Structure formats: C-alpha cells, structure tokens
Structure 1
C-alpha cells in the first residue's frame, strides 16, 4: 500500500464527519488533481477508520480519453487497496455522440459532462444504495461524493464551496424542504423562482442523501504536485509530454496550445474529429476549428509552450 508522506490538513478547511456516511465515492480521472484528492482522502479516512467505505470510480470516456487512463486510475485505487468501479455512458461514445447530435459541446452547454460523467456516476450511487439496503440499512443512505476540483482552475470553480449538499426537489432533508417551500410560494404567486429558493437537480432523493466534498479546492498546482510526488503513485505520461491536464484528449475548454500539443501526440483521434467537424458542419469551437488545430500541429516541429485552460 502506498502512503503519502505529505498531509496538507486541508489548509484550514474542515473535514466532514466521514464516519457519518455509508459510502465515500472518490471520483478519479488518473490526473494530478484526482491523485492529490485521493491521497488526502486516504489520510482522513484512515484516521476516521472508514477506508472500507471508499469506492473509487472512474468515468470512462472511451476513445475520447488518453490511452492508458482507465488502467492508471485502477492502479491508483489498487495502491491503497480500495474498491474500484468503472462507469460509462450506455450507447455511443463521445465522438459518435457528437456526430449524432450534430454539434460539439461548449462552455455554455457541457452535455459531455452530464452525459458521460455525472449521469453514469449517479447510476453507481443507485447501485450502492441497493447494496446498503440488501445489507439491512433502513432510511436514506448517506453518500459523500469526493472530487478533485480546485479553485485555481477557473472562475466557475472558484465559486464552488469545498463542502455542499447535492440537493434536489425530491430530497426530504430540512434544507431541501425549506427551499422547496420557498419555490412553491414563488410559483403560487406567479413569480420566477430565484436561484436561492431552488432545491436543485442534484443526486439526492428519498433513498439517498448526497453531499459533495472538494478536499483540494484551496490547493495550488504546486501543492498538488507536491502531494503527487510524495504519494509515489505513477503519473500519466501525457504530463511529461507537455500537457497541463489529463482531461479529454481534446477538451472544448482547453487552450489552443494544449489542443495543438494533443494533436501532435494523438494525430489519429485529431484527424477523426476534424472529419466529424467537416461532416456535421459545426466547428469544434467558435474561435478555432479542429481542422486548424490539425494543420497547426503538423506545421509546428517543436512542441509548443502549452498554456493551461479554464474549466
């Protein structure tokens, strides 16, 4: 078993009561942030005596994913002796789905995240609830959903709370009931329901109570790499090749230089996306086409200086 020699104590963030949850679901991509998240989670789960409640989940993106990602995610879980599950969208893969929809995802319409990550992970929640009920649990099953999102990554992620309830209209918890009553009041008066009065469309329902925890939300990139190197876990080779993140090979939020570098490293998938782009008549992104990325990658003999991106 690998043990991190470095614990950041969450930079003053409070650790949730891990023992109050039946399941602790750690979302991993095999990238640096989820590696740091997993090492930090293991520190606190070990202290709380709940390592057996952790389920590591990887949302497999299929052909849109960097080669070896799924296997590396499994390796990271195995290093800590943790249960590992893979989830994926039922049906066509991401590239085929782009062609079916006739459009690429965008910053304003990130259907790739909901269809290929959030939805499949919620099906795992359902399966875990069934496991608890089969073992004799009665009442809502408490699940802590743990992710490696960081404030430094983007303005949108900076607004996230390190700990929050994943509320929903059908969740019976006091806060969701309060918001539901507020929302119904606005509706009865024929008024638009403001955001603060909406319970949300989260993963909680009558059978499960889901909270979200971001253990490394306040960490810098330097903090993350320090934890990664101290953990002894193997790092994906895409980083050594110049990529700042291990997302989709061609994330619609990536910087242009990151897209060019990925196209140099993954010429086949890049060419396929360019062909899809031509067939559906929809650009990869408003400011850049995949055809332009492929051409720039071919015309750039040396690896570009890669800028990170906002996600």
Structure 2
C-alpha cells in the first residue's frame, strides 16, 4: 500500500481506504471525546465494514485525568466527561464494550498524572523537546497496551502484526499538522508494523462540525457556550482543558471555567520559574480572564472531586523537591504566581487585585 500524500479521499468507502484497513490485523481508533477523533474513527469504521474486518477494530482513550474536561451538571442535566463521551462514541460506532480501552498512567498502582510529571521535571511540553504530553502519555501508553496482543499474534502466525493507528489530526489545526502526511509508517520490527493514518486530515473544521451535527453524533459540552447549547461557541479544542498549544481565547475560557485548575498550573509555573506557555504565563491569563471583555464561561466548575484533590496533593509533593531538569534561562514572560497564592479556595474575582499588584514578578 502506497503512503503518498493525498492518496486517500475523505469518503469512508474510498477503495484505497478499504484496501488499507482490510490489510490490518489490529485497527486502533483513538478517541479523545473530541469531534476530530470521532470523524476519523467513523471513516475507518466504515472502511472496516466494507472490508469485512470490523472485528479487528479497537477504540482507545488515553486519559490525562483531571487535566481533561470533566463531567458537569447544569439545571439537573449531567453532561459527560471526555472519557465518558469517548466510550459513548465507541458504542455508537458499533465497537463492542470489551474492545474499548481507557488507559491512564500510574505509578505504584496510583494514577500518575501529566501535571505531576511536569512538576517533577520542572518544565512544560513546549520547551523545544519532544511533545511528551502526546508521545509518552498517549502513543507509548497505547502501544504498550497492545504489546501482549502483538506478541501473541507473532507466536500464532509467525509474522509481525500489522497495526493501523487511526488519529483525528487535521491540516486545519496548525502549520505542523498541515505538514504531516496522512499515512506514514512509524514502527517496523519483528513484532509489529505500525502505520499511522489520518483519514480526516484534509477535512475542514466546518465540515467536521456539519458532519457531526447532521449525523446526530453527540459532541462534548466544552465546545458550546454553555452545556447543552449545541452552538459550537465554546472551546475550539477538546481533551486537556488548558493546553499549552491552545489559542488565547480557549485558554481564557478554560481559566474562567476551571479556576482551581488554572491556579494549580500557576502554582507549578511559579515554583519552577517557567511559564506554562511560551507566549504567556498562566498567572497573566488568570489576570486577563478577570477583566471585562473576557469570554463568558457559561459554566464554572468547582473541581471539588477526589480525583482533583489527589492531583493537588501529588503536584505539591513533587514541587517540594528540586526539579529533575533545570529551567532554561529566558524561557518566557515573567508574570508568575506570587508566593502564598495556592489554589485552595481561589476565585478569579479574588485574584484580580492580587495579580495586578504582582504583575512584575
């Protein structure tokens, strides 16, 4: 099968897509709970149905724990977390429940979340190194979950397992993603041959939203101005609530929707001396989000959950020790969280004056 750019049409029944999927022993559909992963998964699912290999489909959600958009309840209606929605997307795609995996990193049997890892390291994914938030915390985690399956396949068939890793990355999202080929071989060894496929790579944001709405597929509440509005006027991205690679409006919206999480980010960047984003700090975003004209959050989450409390304890325990990596000089703007401003009981209104007084350092 050729891996040339532009080989695949976006139609779920394109002959090349059917051929590609039909050649695989394992097809992994990555579901984040977002619209793009669902669109890509649906294209691959349709190709698998046409090829008669739907029994080779697996869906996977690599969870980042409390950093992802959680569930919320508004006016008595509960709206799911991204992990819960990923499981629902899998069900609607027709994948049996025993072939849907939700994976989360742990250490000594206890969840080990990305923000704790960042606090341990002393830096953030943007610092010119490999994007560990996707590589180590998603791709490697997923490949590890299938290690036994590919070993068993090699033992039974005497050849490496052919694995198709289906992702919802699109060219519209960023210049880097625009450069990524829609099909590329990422692994070729004695146990597995892995091809990465981006079946929705050429689709526009508008077309993915239209497909989602016209097909009656549920989308996550974070995309809307307020849960249940179904207007796509909320965050433009899904998964991590406050991603270092998000646009400024999305970050301001995340700060207003999850002030306790934002304050914990700011605490990490203050203690480690490195802002979470190359163009701004979380402390500066908290200050800006408290001003008139900031995006209306539509909903404010208290994050009063055992999972978030465990994250808070773990992050502060990590911050009590020296970082494993020394911060680089001049790694970003200087507006960081002032001493003593933890995230317990924080509120944007209460912090507005605090940050205004300490904006220089």
TM over 0.5: yes
Deviation track 1:244-268 (CA, whole Å, cap 9, x = no partner) reads 0103111111112210011111111
Deviation track 1:87-135 (CA, whole Å, cap 9, x = no partner) reads 222332111111100112106322222221121011023133134357x
Structure 1 segments unaligned to the other structure (5+ residues): 1-6, 167-202, 306-311
In structure 1, what is the equivalent of residue 200 of structure 2?
A: 216
122-131 vs 25-34, which deviates more?
Answer: 122-131
1:76 correspondence with 2:96: no
Contact 1:249 1:262 survives alignment (8 Å): yes
TM-score calculated relative to the size of structure 1: 0.78
In structure 2, what is the equivalent of residue 160 of structure 1?
A: 180
Q: Structure 1: how far apart are the matches of 2:162 and 2:124? A: 36
Aligned match of 2:31 in 28, 37, 42?
28
Deviation track 1:203-257 (CA, whole Å, cap 9, x = no partner) reads 3321111111111011111121122123322110000131001031111111122
In structure 1, what is the equivalent of residue 69 of structure 2?
A: 66
Aligned match of 1:255 in 247, 250, 267?
247
Q: Structure 2: how far apart are the matches of 1:213 and 1:243? A: 26
Structure 2 segments unaligned to the other structure (5+ residues): 1-8, 71-80, 226-233, 298-361
Contact 1:63 1:95 survives alignment (8 Å): no
Q: Structure 1: how far apart are the matches of 2:292 and 2:13? A: 41
1:141 correspondence with 2:128: no
Q: Structure 1: how far apart are the matches of 2:141 and 2:114? A: 13
How far residue 301 of structure 1 moved from its aligned partner, in angstroms, is 5.8
- How is 1:113-262 mapped onto 2 (pairs within 5 angstroms)? 113-133=134-154, 136-166=156-186, 203-241=187-225, 242-262=234-254
In structure 1, what is the equivalent of residue 278 of structure 2?
A: 286
Higher relative contact order (CA 8 A, sep 6+): 1
Aligned match of 1:56 in 49, 55, 59?
59
In structure 2, what is the equivalent of residue 14 of structure 1?
A: 16
In structure 1, what is the equivalent of residue 43 of structure 2?
A: 40
SS at match of 2:157: coil
Indicate how the Cα distance of structure 1 residues 205 and 238 shifts in structure 2: closer, same or farther if over 3 A, else same: same
Q: Structure 1: how far apart are the matches of 2:143 and 2:125? A: 21
Indicate how the Cα distance of structure 1 residues 284 and 123 shifts in structure 2: closer, same or farther if over 3 A, else same: same
Q: Structure 1: how far apart are the matches of 2:91 and 2:174? A: 31
| Aligned length, in residue pairs | 262
TM-score calculated relative to the size of structure 2: 0.68
Contact 1:10 1:216 survives alignment (8 Å): no
How far residue 284 of structure 1 moved from its aligned partner, in angstroms, is 1.2
Contact 2:222 2:235 survives alignment (8 Å): yes
Indicate how the Cα distance of structure 1 residues 119 and 62 shifts in structure 2: closer, same or farther if over 3 A, else same: same
Q: Structure 2: how far apart are the matches of 1:159 and 1:146? A: 17
Q: Structure 1: how far apart are the matches of 2:85 and 2:33? A: 6
Displaced runs of 4 or more, over 3 A = 10-14
How far residue 11 of structure 1 moved from its aligned partner, in angstroms, is 11
Q: Structure 2: how far apart are the matches of 1:38 and 1:231? A: 14
